[in-house]
Amino acid sequence: MDDTVDLGNRVLNSGLSKDLAGQTVTVAGWLQDTRNLGGIAFLLIRDRSGLVQVTCLKKKLGDEVFAKLSGVPRESVVAVTGELKPNAQVSTGFEILPTAFQVISEAGTPLPIGVIDKVGVELDTRLNSRFMDLRKPQVLAIFKLREILIRGMREYLVSQRFMEVTTSKIVAAGAEGGSTLFPIKYFEQQAYLAQSPQLYKQMLMGAGLDRIYELAPAYRAEQSDTVRHIAEFASLDIEMSFIRSEEDVMNILEGLMAHSLETVLREGKQYLDELGVEVTVPKLPFPRVTLADAQKLLAEAGMPVKGDLDTESEKKLGEIMLEKHGAEMYFITKFPVEIKKSTFYAMRDPSDPELTNYFDLDYRGEELVSGGQREHRINVLINQIEEIGYNPKDFEFYLQAFRYGMPPHGGFGLGIERVLHMMLRLPNIRECVLFPRDMYRVVP
């Protein structure tokens, strides 16, 4: 047998079918498993699109070649050229009979963690060998669905005339207070990793880019070691001008979520099946409940809350909204100024100056989104900056955009990992990040 395979002819396993019966095909990937039955051996080769069976016959290959092929360690990278033949006993309906087989990279033994073994492994152990963990079909399915979800979001935003932008992640000031900033040394200056593109989004409204979105990393130095917090995450941020109220922003957001989940259902069924998860598309419009009314619902359920909702009260509200409204997604609106005080750019409700035109979007009891209508009036904005003890001079780069014509505007920031975490009912948000960063992990 020839031991050199021309990878230029390689096709993905998903591109094979019984329609190619009798043709010579070339595949390459990782050797997932070998079953040696003596005179015949079955090799399962995996690429990112799926599995293909290569059937090796000893009487055809000879003892030496057969022993070599059936003895290749699991997870080695191999390439095969051979004839595709129908076989009703194989799950795909076909197999490959090899005419050329090449071991491109032999895997060491033992493996750091198993790929197809049923033995449970702790998440930290998996993350320590993430390159191997990502070979598991169930783990890969999460990131396939992530890509489909984001693609659906982009499709919707483009259909609504939003323009994609990129803003700096090295900033001179925080958009949401200084307590969760990561400081960095920037030449001879103090700088920070961006919590949010908030200030830049608003500046772009003053530049005339009336509908923009950005999908980029954001950083929060929160002292939270929980299953729902990470220090680096993917944030989808939008901003839009000439709005009448926060309702215009909420309408875009609920359309975005419905469309992206529809896309996941339509294009990601095989990956949802791999994970054994069902996803439902929420009906429009999403219910709206003010924070004050949410507090009343919680009090009636025996969980009185003063101020903002904590993790347990958020979960309980999720149960109430599902029971009373059949809603997995819902808005919490009209947050008091006292709760949103650090959000100095939040517009206050003209009918009640103690409230803001700000909202959260929750998904089964977990916050996905915070957003609302921004304050576009320069004098009011400066007063609100001063109210929380900041010096407006430190924000002059930002305020300058408000001095020369700023339209009414609003927007939101959405955590991609939070959506996946809740949509797929995963036990830990770190499952949704290729290489997660938290209070203790900076490698791999």
- Residue-wise pLDDT for 406-429, tens only, equals 999 999 999 999 999 999 999 999
The answer to whether the peptide bond before residue 285 is cis (omega within 30 degrees of 0) is: yes
Which pLDDT does position 49 carry in this prediction? 93
Q: Which residues of the chain have pLDDT under 50?
A: none
Contact 208, 244 (CB under 8 A): no
Pick the closest to residue 346 from 255, 411, 392, 257 (CA basis): 411
Q: What is the topology classification, in CATH, of domain 132-432?
A: BirA Bifunctional Protein; domain 2 (3.30.930)
132-432 has the same fold as 7-105: no
Catalytic residues: 220, 222, 228-229, 367, 370, 418
Q: Where are the domains of the chain?
A: 7-105, 132-432
Which pLDDT does position 176 carry in this prediction? 65
Question: d(Cα 283, Cα 207) in Å, to the nearest integer?
Answer: 35
pTM: 0.94
Pairing of strands 409-415, 366-373: antiparallel
Mean pLDDT of the chain: 95
Question: d(Cα 346, Cα 241) in Å, to the nearest integer?
Answer: 15
Q: Which CATH superfamily is domain 7-105 in?
A: Nucleic acid-binding proteins (2.40.50.140)
For 50-83, give one letter per residue: b (16+ CB within 10 A) or e.
bbbbbbbebeebeeebbebbbebebbebbbbbbe
Contact 49, 11 (CB under 8 A): no
Which pLDDT does position 177 carry in this prediction? 61
Which pLDDT does position 178 carry in this prediction? 67
- Which amino acid is present at 385? I
Pick the closest to residue 180 from 359, 348, 342 (CA basis): 342
Question: Helix axis angle, 137-159 relative to 416-423, nearest 10°?
Answer: 120
